[in-house]
Structure 1
Amino acid sequence: MSVLTVAMPKGRIFQDAAALMVKAGYQIPPDLEDSRKLIIDVSAENMRFILAKPMDVATYVEQGVADIGIAGKDVMLEEERDVYEVLDLKISECYLAVAGLPGTEMKDVAPKIATKYPNIASSYYREQGEQVEIIKLNGSIELAPLIGLSDRIVDIVSTGRTLKENGLVEFERIVDITSRLIVNPVSYRLKDQQIDLLVNRLASVVEED
C-alpha cells in the first residue's frame, strides 16, 4: 500500500483535525505539531504529514505533492483551486465578516476595503452593487481602519475579541467557515480505497459530534 500524503495547516485547525483523526482511530502522535520538522512520517498509519501555512494547503493538494489536505472554507472560496472538497469536518468554526470603526459611514466614492481575502471581498461587494477599492494585506487587518487606510475590513471572526480589543464593530456577516477535507483529483483515482476509508472513518466521527 502506498503512502498517503496529508497536508495539514499549523495552529488551531491542526489541533482540531488531529483530535478528529485520533477519534477516528488513527495513531497520530500527540506531539506531531511540536516537531520542528515540516515533513513527518507516521509509519504506523502509512501516512506522511506536510505541515504548512493554512493558505498553502490547497496549493499543495492541487499540485499533487499532497494527496489530501485540510483547509478552511475561506481558503477554498478565495483560492478556487482544482481539488475535490469531499467532507465538511465541522471543526475550527468561524465566519467572514465586514467590520470597522463604530458610527462611521463608508465613503460615497470608491470606499476602501482592507482584507486578506481580495477575491471574496470583491465578489461580496459586487453582489451588493457597490464599487469598492480592495487593499490586500497579509496581517493585522484590524489596523487598517485605525490608521485611516480603509473604511472597512473583511476578515475572519472567531470570538470577536480581537475586533473588540481594537475598538472595531462587526457590520455584516458574509459566510460561515469550517474546515474541509480536500483531495487531489489524480490521487482520488490512484488511491481511492485509502482515501475513501479515511473519508468514511472521519465522516462517522463528524456525524457523532
Structure 2
Amino acid sequence: MAKPIIFAIPKGRILDEALPLLAEAGIIPDADFHNKDSRALRFGTNNPDIDIIRVRAFDVATFVAHGAAQLGIVGSDVLEEYSYSEIYAPVDLDIGHCRLSVAEPADLAASDDISEWSHVRIATKYPNFTRRHFEAKGVQAECVKLNGAMEIAPALGLTRRIVDLVSSGGTLKANNLVEVDILCEITSRLIVNRVAFKTQPEIRPLVERFREIVGGSDAA
C-alpha cells in the first residue's frame, strides 16, 4: 500500500485562510483537527491518500525541503529566509497578505535618515533575509535572532530597530514603533518538494487544482 501524501500547513495567522482553499481542493481534515484540546500533529483527511500535519510556519518549509512532507503552505517570508533549493513554489495562493518591515521608535524615526545608514543592529527572526536586504544597500546589518516579542526589543535596549511582519500596524503603534522601510510584500505560497513533484505523479494534479482555484496565479 502506498504511503499517503503529507501536506504541511502552518499554525497561526495563515491557517484560517488556508482551510477554505484546502476544502475547495477536496481536502478536508478529520474532525479531530478542529479539536482545540487535541495534541495531535498529524491528521487524516476525507482523502485516504492525503494526511495533514500542522506545524510552525518555519517548520513547514523544513519538512517539505527534506521530503518528510511533499506539499505545504507557507508565507514567502519563510521562503526568503531559508532559500531551500529543494523547494518548488509554483502557486501564489493570494492569502496571508502582510509585509516584512523595518521599524524603530517613533522619536528616533522623527530625525532618522535611512539613506545614511552604514551599520544597523536589528532584532528579527529573519536574520538571513535581513542581512541580504541591507547588504544590497551597502549597509552592514548586525542581527539579533529572536523568535517573538520583537516589538519590546527597542524599549529594553536590546536593539534600536526590528524587522518583523506587519499587517495592520496595530502592534507597532501599541509599542510606540513606526515603519521606516519595507523589505518586501508577503503572500502565502503552495510549496512542493522538487523530487516528489518529479517522482509522484499524483502530486501534479493537486498543484494544478490549487492553480485553478486561485485563477492561475503563479508564484513569482
- Alignment match of 1:162 (pick from 144, 156, 171): 171
Question: Within 2, Cα distance between the matches of 1:171 and 1:71?
Answer: 26
Report the CA distance shift for 1:136/1:27 in structure 2 as closer, same or farther (over 3 A).
Answer: closer
Name the counterpart of 1:11.
12
In the alignment, structure 1 residue 51 sits paired with structure 2 residue 72: no
Question: Within 2, Cα distance between the matches of 1:24 and 1:43?
Answer: 11
- Alignment match of 1:202 (pick from 207, 210, 216): 210
Unaligned residue ranges in structure 2 (runs of 5+): none
Question: Are the counterparts in 2 of residues 10 and 33 from structure 1 also a CA contact under 8 Å?
Answer: no
Which stretches of structure 1, 4 residues or longer, exceed 4 Å deviation after superposition? 106-109
Unaligned residue ranges in structure 1 (runs of 5+): none
In the alignment, structure 1 residue 87 sits paired with structure 2 residue 96: no
Report the CA distance shift for 1:108/1:21 in structure 2 as closer, same or farther (over 3 A).
Answer: closer
In the alignment, structure 1 residue 99 sits paired with structure 2 residue 108: no
Q: Structure 2 length normalisation: TM-score?
A: 0.86
Q: CA deviation at 1:25?
A: 3.5
Structure ranking higher in helix proportion: 1
Q: CA deviation at 1:169?
A: 0.5
Q: CA deviation at 1:2?
A: 4.8
**How many percent identity over aligned positions?**
40
Question: Within 1, Cα distance between the matches of 2:117 and 2:49?
Answer: 57
Question: Within 1, Cα distance between the matches of 2:137 and 2:107?
Answer: 21
Name the counterpart of 1:76.
79
Question: Are the counterparts in 1 of residues 118 and 139 from structure 2 also a CA contact under 8 Å?
Answer: no
Deviates more, 1:164-173 or 1:25-34: 25-34
Report the CA distance shift for 1:118/1:33 in structure 2 as closer, same or farther (over 3 A).
Answer: farther
Report the CA distance shift for 1:208/1:22 in structure 2 as closer, same or farther (over 3 A).
Answer: farther
Question: What is the identity, as a one-letter code, of the residue corresponding to 1:113?
Answer: I
Q: CA deviation at 1:132?
A: 2.8
Question: Within 2, Cα distance between the matches of 1:108 and 1:121?
Answer: 14
In the alignment, structure 1 residue 66 sits paired with structure 2 residue 69: yes
Question: Are the counterparts in 1 of residues 103 and 177 from structure 2 also a CA contact under 8 Å?
Answer: yes
Question: What is the identity, as a one-letter code, of the residue corresponding to 1:59?
Answer: T
Q: Structure 1 length normalisation: TM-score?
A: 0.91
